[in-house]
């Protein structure tokens, strides 16, 4: 009989956002680079908005308060794109346009 090690939750340690890529570093030494186009709210955000983020659950996820965007460490490691519907994204985009005009 073999013993299996318990599943360790992998946590986000750091991230950076370039003009076209989201790069996430994890506490187990892995880093993933994902196309920013997979995350439309991040893609639409300004550099300031993209750089204002915080870790949720000690690294189980990432939250961008100015963009109302949340991504999980698990989803990022799995290479999952945003699951937001087009209708929801368009409502958000329209609300951004209104705020910028005000």
If one counts the domains in the chain, the total is: 1
pTM over 0.95: no
pLDDT for the residue 8:
81
Euclidean distance between CA atoms 101 and 83, whole angstroms: 28
Which DSSP letter does residue 25 get? Answer: E
81 assigned to some structural domain: yes
Range of the domain at 35: 12-101
Euclidean distance between CA atoms 12 and 27, whole angstroms: 6
4-23 confidence digits (pLDDT tens): 445 688 999 999 999 999 99
User: Residue 45's Cα: distance from chain center in Å?
Assistant: 12
92 assigned to some structural domain: yes
Q: Indicate the pLDDT class of residue 100, thresholds 50, 70 and 90.
A: low
Mean pLDDT, residues 42-65: 96
59 assigned to some structural domain: yes
70-98 confidence digits (pLDDT tens): 999 999 999 999 999 999 999 999 998 77
pLDDT for the residue 1:
47
- Spatial neighbors of 20 by CB under 8 A, at least 6 apart, are 35, 36, 37
**β-sheet bridge partners, residue 70:** 63
Euclidean distance between CA atoms 74 and 60, whole angstroms: 8
Q: What is the CATH number of the domain that holds 21?
A: 3.30.2020.40
Task: Give the phi and the psi of residue 23 in degrees, each rounded to 5.
Answer: -115, 120
């Amino acid at each position: 009989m073999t013993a299996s090690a318990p599943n360790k939750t992998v946590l986000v340690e750091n991230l950076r956002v370039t003009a076209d890529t989201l790069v996430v570093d994890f506490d187990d030494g892995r880093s993933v680079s994902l196309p920013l186009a997979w995350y439309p709210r991040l893609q639409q955000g300004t550099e300031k908005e993209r750089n204002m983020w915080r870790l949720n659950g000690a690294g189980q996820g990432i939250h961008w308060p100015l963009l109302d965007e949340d991504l999980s460490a698990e989803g990022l490691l799995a290479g999952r794109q945003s699951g937001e519907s087009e209708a929801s994204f368009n409502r958000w985009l329209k609300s951004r346009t209104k705020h910028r005009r005000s």
